[in-house]
Amino acid sequence: MREERFLRTTSYVVLGLLSFGRELTGYELKQWADESIAFFFASPAMSQIYTELDRLEAAGFVRGRDASRGADRSRCAYRLTARGTRELARWVDHAPVAAPALKHTVALRLFLGHVADPARLRAILDEHLERTRATLAALEKVRADLGDDETWRFPALVADWGERYLAGEADAVAAAARRVRRLPRR
C-alpha cells in the first residue's frame, strides 16, 4: 500500500496564493504573502519562494511563463496547473488536522519573570501590546479591502477570526501588564 505523501506546508502556501487565479511572479507572491498569509502563518523568505517555484514546476504543479518587461528585465509569471489545483485540494481536504505551532518568546520571558527586572518586563509587555495593536490595525485594513466579494469569502472569514484573536491577545497582554505593574519592586 503506497503511502500518499504531502509536500511541505510552504508548497501549499505558494500553490494556495496561486489558486485565486492570478498569474504571479516570485516577487509578487512574496509581497502578497506578507500582507495576507503572514497574519497566521510564517511568510517564506524570498529565496525560498524561488526554490519552491522551481520544485513545483518540476513536479508539474505550476507552469511558468516568460513575462519579461523589455529586453533585459527578466521576469517569470506562474500559474497553477490542473494537477496543482488537485494537489492543493487534496491537501486542504485530507491532511491531518495539526495543532497550530506557536513560538511566543514574550510569553516565555514573562514565564521567567522571576529572573527579570520588573521594569524591563513591563517595557517588554508594553512593546508587545503596541505591536499587537499595530498588527490588528493592519489586519483591519486588509479586511476592509476584502469587502464581501465572493472571491474573498474565505480570506475574509480568516481575517475576521484573526481580528478576534488579536483583539483577545491585546486584552490578555494588557491584563498581564497591569498585574506585573502591581508587583512589588525587586
Partner DNA sequence: GCCAGCATGTAAGGAGTTACATGATTAT
Partner DNA sequence: ATAATCATGTAACTCCTTACATGCTGGC
Could you list the residues that contact its own copies (CB under 8 A)?
9, 12-13, 16, 19-20, 36-37, 40-42, 85, 88-89, 91-95, 97-117, 120-121, 124, 127-128, 131, 135, 151, 153-155, 157-158, 160-162, 164-165, 168-169, 171-173, 175-176, 179-180, 183
Tell me the three cell numbers of residue 177: 501588564
Whether residue 82 contacts residue 90, with contact meaning beta carbons closer than 8 Å, is answered with no
70 forms part of the interface with DNA (CB under 7 A): yes
57 forms part of the interface with DNA (CB under 7 A): no
Pick one of DNA, its own copies, none as the site partner of residue 128 (Cβ within 5 to 8 A by kind).
Answer: its own copies
* CB closer to its own copies, 72 vs 150: 150
> What DSSP letter does each residue of 14-26 carry, written as one string?
HHHHHTTS--EEH
Pick one of DNA, its own copies, none as the site partner of residue 120 (Cβ within 5 to 8 A by kind).
Answer: its own copies
The three-point CA angle 169-172-176 to 5° equals 135
* CB closer to its own copies, 67 vs 158: 158
Whether residue 77 contacts residue 25, with contact meaning beta carbons closer than 8 Å, is answered with yes
Whether residue 165 contacts residue 148, with contact meaning beta carbons closer than 8 Å, is answered with no
* CB closer to its own copies, 37 vs 56: 37
CA distances from 14 to 33, 42, 129 (A): 8, 12, 31
User: For residue 39, which of 182, 127, 138, 116 has the smallest C-alpha distance?
Assistant: 138
72 forms part of the interface with DNA (CB under 7 A): yes
In whole angstroms, the minimum distance from the beta carbon of 69 to DNA comes to 6
